[in-house]
Amino acid sequence: MSEGCKRCNCRRSKCLKLYCECFAAGVYCVDSCACVNCYNKPEFEDTVLDIRQQIEARNPLAFTPKVVDNAIGSSPNFTEEQDLTTPSSARHKRGCNCKKSKCLKRYCECFQAKVGCSSACRCEGCKNTFGVTPEPVYNRAKRWASHPAEKLDNVKGAIACIKAPGIIHYSPTWEGISDISKLTPLSHPCSRAAFSSASSSSSAKIPQAQLPSSQLQPSGAHYDIPYDDTPEILEETSNPTKVVKASSPNQKRVSPPQSQSRLRERSPTGLRSGRKFNLQAMPSFPPLTPHRNSKEGTNEIENDDK
DNA sequence: GAGTTTGAAACT
DNA sequence: CAGTTTCAAACTC
Ligand SMILES: [Zn+2]
Ligand SMILES: [Zn+2]
Ligand SMILES: [Zn+2]
Ligand SMILES: [Zn+2]
Ligand SMILES: [Zn+2]
Ligand SMILES: [Zn+2]
Start-to-end Cα distance in chain A: 34
pLDDT bin (cut points 50, 70, 90) of residue A116 is: very high
| Bases on strand C under 7 Å from any protein CB | 6-11
Which nt has its C1' nearest the CA of A24? B9
What separation in angstroms does the CA of A122 have from each of A7, A68, A92, A174?
A: 29, 18, 12, 14
A125: CA distance to ligand 4 center in Å? 9
A197: CA distance to ligand 3 center in Å? 24
The pLDDT assigned to A1 comes to 57
A39: CA distance to ligand 1 center in Å? 9
Instruction: Evaluate if residue A143 carries a pLDDT over 80.
Output: no
Q: Tens of pLDDT along A31-87?
A: 999 999 999 999 999 999 999 999 999 999 999 999 998 877 766 655 566 666 667
Higher per-residue confidence, A187 vs A131: A131
Q: Point out the ligand nearest to the CA of residue A33.
A: 2
Strand C closer than 7 A to residue A8 Cβ: yes
Of A15-19, A34-38, A74-78, A198-202, the poorest mean pLDDT is in A198-202
The number of C-alpha atoms within 13 Å of A36 and in the hemisphere containing its C-beta is: 6
The pLDDT assigned to A5 comes to 82
Residue A81, Cβ neighbours under 10 Å: how many? Answer: 7
The pLDDT assigned to A29 comes to 97
Instruction: Evaluate if residue A2 carries a pLDDT over 80.
Output: no
Closest CA to A71 of A173, A183, A160, A171: A183
What does the angle CA A86 – CA A92 – CA A96 come to, to the nearest 5 degrees? 125
The pLDDT assigned to A281 comes to 37
Q: Point out the ligand nearest to the CA of residue A97.
A: 4
The pLDDT assigned to A279 comes to 38
The pLDDT assigned to A71 comes to 78
Closest CA to A184 of A198, A199, A173, A195: A195
Per-residue CB contacts under 7 A with strand C, chain A residues 9-28: 9-13, 15, 17, 19-21
CB-count exposure of residue A201 (10 Å: 0-12, 13-18, 19+): exposed
SS3 A67: strand
Closest CA to A100 of A131, A127, A67: A127
Most confidently modeled range among A95-99, A170-174, A252-256: A95-99
pLDDT bin (cut points 50, 70, 90) of residue A156 is: very low
Residue A183, Cβ neighbours under 10 Å: how many? Answer: 20
A51: CA distance to ligand 1 center in Å? 14
pLDDT bin (cut points 50, 70, 90) of residue A195 is: very low
The pLDDT assigned to A73 comes to 74
How far, in Å, CA of A1 to CA of A6, rounded?
Answer: 12
